[in-house]
Amino acid sequence: MARQSPQRPDADEPELDDTDAAAAADEVEEDRPPADRALWDEVRIDPVEIALPAGTGFTLRAYRQARELTPTDVAERDQDDPFLARRQVVETEEDEEVVILDEEFAALSAEEDDEDEEKDAKSRRKGKADASDDEKAEADEDEDEDEAGDEEVPVFLTHKGRLLLFKTPESLVTFIRSGAPNDLSQLDSWNELSERLEPADIAPLDEDTYELDLVVENLRGGHDAWDHELLIEAGEIARDLAYALRLPAVLDMLSAGSSLDDLDEALRASVNGGVGGFLGRRRLKKIGAQTASLGWRTIVGKISAVVDWRD
């Protein structure tokens, strides 16, 4: 219990010493209600805060079934993509386009690419299946497409392939109320949000706050300095943004079996206790800090290149 100062006989109010003042401030802080989440729960949209090398901004994110969404239109964006000049497009035997990523990272990952090509070659040598197998394969493909349509996918406050980031809650609310075109307006709860949203509502939860600006430097610090939570959360938001913004190069770099996906899995395993955590920490020691930092430098650069900053 906090100690109270003796009250003067002629004083209207008791004096508080430093201890009492601090206790009173804590009580005020505790009595202050947290940001109301009722609106966000109703509209199934969340405020998000993202820190990038160019600054920190607020945006919105939702998850919906893929079949309910129209992807953002990237045609105009890709005409001015600063990374296109650094890509090399080649034709495979199946006339499919293959995008070669940032050349430095691609060189470090060349061994992985060779392994994938060897697997593809073995697959092609197996020959053709009989007719019944073909029919079964087609049925399985249709089933996969149905499942993909039912999968929940991320969608952000974007427009024409660019992520809209706002430096203040007020500017974000002003934009939403303005009725300006954006990809979230296709959601059935968008009108309700635009009518009820106030600047005080823009208070992202801790799990919706991401610091992509710190990832590269953290990785460069070496294995012992790696912030597991920071890097795991960075992977989550990067995958969401890459899907919503249609950044196939970033999705490839974070796809299953890639070196950065191996890093993510090892980080997740290492935060657990027991044998799994021990094995995860051993796997981390085998992951090259240079490759990881170089890959993430490319990812952060590609995401930053498609951000539309708003005051």
What tens digit of pLDDT does each residue of 43-55 get?
A: 999 999 999 999 9
Find the helix or strand (DSSP H, E) in which 115 lies. Answer: helix 110-124
Q: For the CA atoms of the chain, what is the radius of gyration?
A: 25
pLDDT, average across residues 283-305: 91
Q: How far is CA 276 from the centre of its chain?
A: 25
Q: Please name which of 181, 153, 184, 161 lies closest in space to residue 307, comparing C-alpha atoms.
A: 161
Tokens linked to 229: 């939570």
pLDDT in tens, 134-150: 555 555 555 555 555 68
Cα end-to-end distance, the chain, whole Å: 47
Q: Please name which of 77, 108, 103, 129 lies closest in space to residue 307, comparing C-alpha atoms.
A: 77
Question: What pLDDT, on a 0 to 100 scale, did the predictor assign at position 88?
Answer: 40
- Whether 213 shows a pLDDT value over 80: the answer reads yes
Q: How far apart are CA 63 and CA 43, in angstroms?
A: 11
Question: What pLDDT, on a 0 to 100 scale, did the predictor assign at position 9?
Answer: 43
pLDDT, average across residues 129-138: 50
Question: What pLDDT, on a 0 to 100 scale, did the predictor assign at position 141?
Answer: 54
The model's pTM is: 0.71
- Whether 5 shows a pLDDT value over 60: the answer reads no
Of 105 and 176, the structure prediction assigns the larger pLDDT to 176
Question: What pLDDT, on a 0 to 100 scale, did the predictor assign at position 223?
Answer: 85
Question: How many CA atoms within 13 Å lie on the side-chain side of 202?
Answer: 23
pLDDT, average across residues 68-72: 96
H-type alpha helices, 65-183: 75-79, 103-108, 110-124, 131-150, 169-178
DSSP letter (8 states) at residue 257: T
Query: pLDDT band for position 311 (50/70/90)?
Result: confident
Of 14 and 273, the structure prediction assigns the larger pLDDT to 273
What type of residue sits at position 270?
Answer: S
Other Cβ atoms less than 10 A from the Cβ of 297: the count is 19
pLDDT, average across residues 80-105: 48
Q: Residues 85, 178: contact at Cβ < 8 Å?
A: no
Q: Classify 309 as helix, strand or coil.
A: strand
Tokens linked to 85: 């000049």
Q: Please name which of 247, 238, 284 lies closest in space to residue 50, comparing C-alpha atoms.
A: 238
